[in-house]
Each structure stands twice: as structure tokens, then as C-alpha cells.
A and B are shown apart, each in its own frame.
Chain A
Amino acid sequence: MGPTPTITIHVPGPLRPYCAGASQISLAARTVRAALEDLERSQFDLYRNVCDETGRVRRHLNVFVNADNVRDLDGVETTLTPGDVVTILPAVSGG
């Protein structure tokens, strides 16, 4: 197993007050689940906005790895590679 990949989490505007205004967070994680667990340890105020008490990603949020919704990949078990961008977005559309 190689070194743990360093990835970037893109933080949406409404959640930046929960991580000192940061728009991006870099961390090392092999999967989306591991990235969320890292946030639980290092950025709990941000984490509680993304995951509910059971640890599940909140129902009306979508998590993307690069351009793909993890729902269409392996969910939170989706593996990450160096340089991946994980984006958290509310599941909302216009119209």
C-alpha cells in the first residue's frame, strides 16, 4: 500500500464559518469515509454540518469526487487518489 493520498475538500460558502473561513481543506485520506472521519477529528463544527449523529452524510447533501457524485461510485467507500477534489454541495436545484 502506497502513501496515503493528499486530497482537497472544497467547502461551500455557507459552511465556511464553521472552519475559520477556509474555502479548502487539505488532508490525507484513502477514501471519502476516511476524509469525513478526519474532519470529525479535526473540524468537528464543520463535520456536524455534513454528517448527522449516526455518521451518515446528511440526506440533502451531495458529495462529489472531482466531477462524480459518490452516489454513482462507491458511496463513502469511494477511493481517493492524490490530487482529488472532494466537493460538498446542498442537493438543491432551481426552477
Chain B
Amino acid sequence: MADRVVLTIGTKKGVFVADAATPRRSFGLRGPFGPGIPVYSTLIDMRGAPRLYASSCNPFFGMKVLRSTNMGKSFEETKSAPAFPKEDGRALANIWSLEPGSGKKELWCGVEPASLFRSTDGGDSWEMVPGISNHEHARKWQPGNGGLCLHTIIRDGSRVHLGISTGGHYLSEDGGETFRASNQGVGAGFAPYPYPEFGQCVHKIVRHDDAPGRLYMQNHGGWADWTGPGGPRPDIGVLRSDDYGRSWRSIAKGLPSDFGFPIVVHPRDADTVYVMPLEPGTRSCPGAAPAVWRSENGGDSWSRLARGLPKKQTYFTVLRDAMDIDQLKAPALYFGTTTGQLWIGREGGEKWECLFDSLPPIHNVKVAVV
């Protein structure tokens, strides 16, 4: 069977699945699955026979995990969803991330309030990961505007990187048994001291297999003009680490704003990274003219990619998990908007086209070639 490009689209009203033959000329759309219920995270699990996962975050009846074994023709609930032990005192408010673990069936899941869960049976049963969920900092983290969420899980051998808003970046070097805050150089704008040990509002972190030790981070920027205690803190929003996340430096110079949510790295070039700068007030693109910005040298310089995107009067936001890139030879970027459009940026974002114009507000976009 020919390769197909598959997209999972988590929205305010359920999950949609889009797919196309690899020329990507025309995408079909199925869904919504879990209709009417917000979906904040999806996963296209390519280990063995592909499986699709989606969190179904019902504000009335609680959290569920949906699973599809037929490429999104239908979804069913797994046998259980993450849940805190009764004596813990916390209650699950949202599911923010689903990531593959080791083997074929291990899954990791980041939730709100910020905690980590692990499944060894493809999502049918879950156990809390105490090293971060019961970390001495855990009861001191504060919720960001989106809630107190553990939204980023990156596994790299025995290292596990977590992004928590607002907790910061946490690093495990023993497979997830223990974690420590690892935020040297990661600024915070909403505290008098700009570089606390933890409590940063990290928005997203990515890495690339071909660049050991390197990570890129979209942090909560937008504090260049701050005149209060601690002074201005320009360029804290887009960062890079070259030592496995132990320390970070700004790569925001050249961007029109260091505030934003998603950050994406090219599938075959670790030096090529994409962000979508937003104005911190409106959380829309500067000048109300949407654009993705690309660096091809690891963040030393940036160029604007906007061909085909609206040129004015556009106020959508692209959320932290709503941008992704496929793995084809000339990869395409995809982003979904809070106003329900799904855009494709062909040729690495050189040429943009709206695939779907009137979906529900989009929280999450993932893509894979299957």
C-alpha cells in the first residue's frame, strides 16, 4: 500500500483524522470522534501496527483515553485513564500529552495538575510516576493561563526531559526514576528574580536524534520592556541547550517577538527549527499577519515564512501542540488555529495553503507518514 500522510487533529469538539496520499494533493477528513469533548493531546504511535491515541477531556465526566487500531476509522476508550491514588488528594483535570515509551506498548502521559503517568499495556492501565509527580517542588508549582500542565515528554535513552507550565524544565538521567529542575538560563518574567531554580512557564521543548545534547525551547517570553523589580529580560522566550538541557541560551535575536507556543524541528536537519512568534498581549502574530519563522542555523538567524497566509486582520493563536512537520523528503509543516483552520506549509513552510477552514478551535496537530 502506498504511504499516506495521516494527521490527528485534537479540537474543542473531539478528534478528527485527516489523511492523503503522499503527494498531499487532497486530504480526506473523518470525525469528530469523542464528539463535543475537548481533546488536548493526540499520538500517532508508529511502533508495530500504527495506533492513534487521543485524550478526551470531559469537563463533566472526567478524563478518558481514546484509541484507534484502524487508522482513525473508529476510536474506543481504553480500559482506564490516568488517575491519582485516592489518598493523594489531587484529581485529574486534564490530559496534556501522550508519548510512546520503550517497547511496543509503553506510553507516557502528562496531565494537569502537573504529573506524569506511565502505561505498559497500551493505555489500558496506568501508574503514577512518583519521581516527578511527588517531587518536592510539585506542590509549589503554579498554574499558567492554560492550567498547571505537564505538556512535554521527551525520552532520550535514559534521559527524560519534561516541560511543565509553570514549573520549568525537569531532567531525569535515570530513566524517569528521579528528576531535578534544570533551568539554568531559562528566564521567568512573572517573578522579581528573573532566573529562579524552577517555576518558569515553559511552553514547548523539542530535540533531534542527529544532534545529541541539543534541545530547543519555546519559553514564555514577552518581557523585554518590563521595568519592575529585576529589570527587563529580553529574549528569554526562545532558547537552545547544547548540554542535554543542563543550561540554556537565548536564540531569540532576529525574531519579531520572543513569545509563542509551538516549536518544531526539521525531521532531517537538526539546525532547522520553526517557531510562530506571537504578541504576548493578543497572542496573535505581530501586525495581525500570521507567519512561521524558520532558522536554518540552529537559531543564529531567522527568516519569515508567510507566502499564502493572510496578510492582515488575523488574530488566531496557534497553541503549543498545534504545529508539526511530516517526514517526507520535502517536509510540510502543519498548524491548527484557535479559529479552526488547519494550514499546510508545503516545501518546509515556503508555501501555505488552508486545508480545512471551519473546524472547531484546534488544540493539537500531529502528523506521521504511515
Contacts and interface: CB of A to CB of B under 8 A. Distances in A.
A and B form one complex? yes
Interface of A: 14-15, 48-50, 52-56, 58, 60-61, 90-92
B61 A53 contact: no
B90 interface: yes
Given A53-B83, A55-B86, A61 B60 contact: yes
Interface in B64-105: 83-86, 88-92
Contact of B62 (A55, A58, A91, A92): A58
A56 B93 CA distance: 13
Contact of A53 (B59, B60, B90): B90
A35 B80 CA distance: 23
Can you list the 9 inter-chain pairs with the closest CB atoms, starting with the nearest?
A52-B91, A49-B61, A90-B60, A53-B84, A53-B83, A60-B60, A53-B91, A60-B59, A54-B91
Nearest to B37: A14
A54 B89 CA distance: 6
Given A48-B83, A54-B88, 18 more contacts: A14-B60, A15-B61, A49-B61, A49-B62, A50-B61, A52-B91, A52-B92, A53-B83, A53-B88, A53-B91, A54-B84, A54-B91, A55-B86, A56-B91, A58-B60, A61-B60, A61-B61, A92-B60
Contacts of A14: 60-61
Contacts of A52: 62, 91-92
A57 B113 CA distance: 18
Contacts of A48: 62, 83
A76 B100 CA distance: 40
A39 to B, nearest CB: 13
Nearest to A14: B61
18 contacts: A14-B60, A14-B61, A15-B61, A48-B62, A49-B61, A52-B91, A52-B92, A53-B85, A53-B86, A53-B88, A53-B90, A53-B92, A54-B89, A54-B90, A60-B60, A61-B60, A90-B61, A91-B60
Contacts of A55: 86
B86 A54 contact: yes
B76 to A, nearest CB: 11
Nearest to B89: A54
Given A52-B91, A53-B92, A58 B86 contact: no
A22 B101 CA distance: 38
Contacts of A58: 60-62
Contacts of B84: 53-54
A61 B88 CA distance: 22
Nearest to B83: A53
B200 to A, nearest CB: 28
Nearest to B59: A60
A91 B58 CA distance: 13
